[in-house]
Every structure is written in C-alpha cells, then in structure tokens.
Amino acid sequence: MRRSEREIKDYKLLENLLKQGEVIHLALADAPYPYLVTVNYGYRDDALYFHCASQGRKIDLLKQDPKVYFQIILRNELVRAESACRWTTKFTSVCGEADAVIQESHAEKRKALQIIMGHYGLHDSEFTENMTKNMLTVKLNIVSLSAKSNEE
C-alpha cells in the first residue's frame, strides 16, 4: 500500500468495519472482462454471506472460479478546495480476497440468512424450507483483508 499512513492494520478495527458496511461489491472472474456485482451481506467469524437466485451469471461464474475480490465502502465524501490540486476525498474502505462456497442445504441457507438479517438489525428471523428452496446462499471465506481511511 503506497500510502501506508492510511492503512488500518488492527484486526479488531477491520472486523468492526466489516460489521458496519451496508453492501459489498464483488469482482468475479469472467472473460473478456471481470464481472462486478453489488449485494447485501452479513459478516460473522471471518466470513461474509450473501444470498442470490439459484441460477444466473453470478452463480455460473462462482462455480467456474470460486475466488473473488470484494470491496466495502463505508464513507466517501468529496472535499472541494479553491485549487484543483487541493481537492480530496475523505473515505474509509475495506478490500479483500475470499473463497466462495455455494450453500445448498436448507440448514446452511437458514443460518446464512439469519446472519445477513442480523447484520441489518433484524435478529431471530425464521426461514422455512419453502422460503429457501429457490435460492442459494454463498459463504465467502476471507483469505486476506486490507483497509484504508483518509478520515481525520
């Protein structure tokens, strides 16, 4: 990281940022260009979770290559100045690499959905097999994390 003074290294702070985010941007391998998609998520125990349809481009790509890159932007504020060269952005973001595991059993989907809903403040949600039969959940096992902040 070129601007090392902006790097967040403390794992507890990194974990706290993962708990605060609202959406995650996922970069998936595709040809001739990568595929980028934004999803809601939940975080627990070094893993991110999201849900999706059981068919489609996202799932097809994850089956071909489960390695993903992700980004969570927690703050992004343009700061204007009198001189163009003095403009800046106040930001905090977390990026990382993860290995995706597609979850197909009702028990896995139920747990993942509870983590996702808990992330947004709705705890103790129940999900029946009928509710989960036409969807999948994906667990992203975090391999690496980095974070930067330009907030003072």
Close Cβ partners of 36 (under 8 Å, ≥ 6 residues apart): 25, 26, 27, 28
Give residue 10's pLDDT.
85
* Mean pLDDT for all residues in the chain: 91
Q: Which CATH superfamily is domain 4-149 in?
A: Electron Transport, Fmn-binding Protein; Chain A (2.30.110.10)
Q: What's the pTM?
A: 0.90
pLDDT in tens, 38-54: 999 999 999 999 999 99
Question: Is the confidence at residue 151, as pLDDT, over 80?
Answer: no
